[in-house]
């Protein structure tokens, strides 16, 4: 019930293309869904986050789409750039469990020039 499933495990996209990473969760008590970006040798950094009362959130080239009924959410990276090459993690948490993030397994994104 605490799982967050993430796919694909790895993704290769051409420069300028759209990268799409999907996550699904089971626990309906989750109410906060962040995406983190991690470069080698660095800690994860928050990219964008969404709550279930919103179906979409956009920040620059990054968009989260959220489907509450399907218990799924996805990250779209528009106009992907080589500098976006990193590992992306979706996560979820619930009210009252502030820093207890349940992470997906990660997606290694490679953007080819």
Residue 96 in the binding site for other proteins (CB under 8 A): yes
Span 28-47, contacts to other proteins by CB under 8 A: 31-32, 34, 36, 41-46
Instruction: Give strand pairing partners of 59.
Output: 62
Residue 104 in the binding site for other proteins (CB under 8 A): yes
Residue 24 in the binding site for other proteins (CB under 8 A): no
Q: Mind giving me the DSSP string for the chain?
A: ---EEEE-SEEEEETTS-EEEEEEE--TT--BEEEEEE-TTS--EEEEEE-TT-SEEEETTEEEEEETTTTEEEEEESS--GGG-EEEEEEEB-TT-TT-PEE---EEEEEE-
Residue 78 in the binding site for other proteins (CB under 8 A): no
Shortest Å distance, C-beta 39 to other proteins: 10
Nearest residue (CB) to other proteins, 24 versus 32: 32
Interface ranges with other proteins (CB under 8 A): 31-32, 34, 36, 41-46, 49, 51, 89, 91, 93-106
């Amino acid at each position: 019930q605490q799982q967050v499933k993430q796919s694909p495990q790895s993704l290769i996209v051409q420069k300028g293309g759209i990268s799409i990473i999907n996550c699904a969760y089971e626990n309906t008590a989750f109410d906060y869904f962040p995406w983190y970006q991690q470069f080698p040798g660095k800690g994860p950094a928050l990219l964008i986050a969404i709550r279930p009362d919103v179906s979409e959130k956009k920040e620059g080239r990054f968009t989260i789409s959220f489907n509450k009924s399907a218990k799924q959410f996805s990250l779209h990276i528009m106009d992907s750039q080589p500098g976006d090459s990193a590992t992306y993690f979706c996560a979820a948490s619930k009210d009252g469990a502030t820093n207890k993030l349940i992470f997906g397994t990660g997606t290694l994104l490679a953007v080819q020039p």
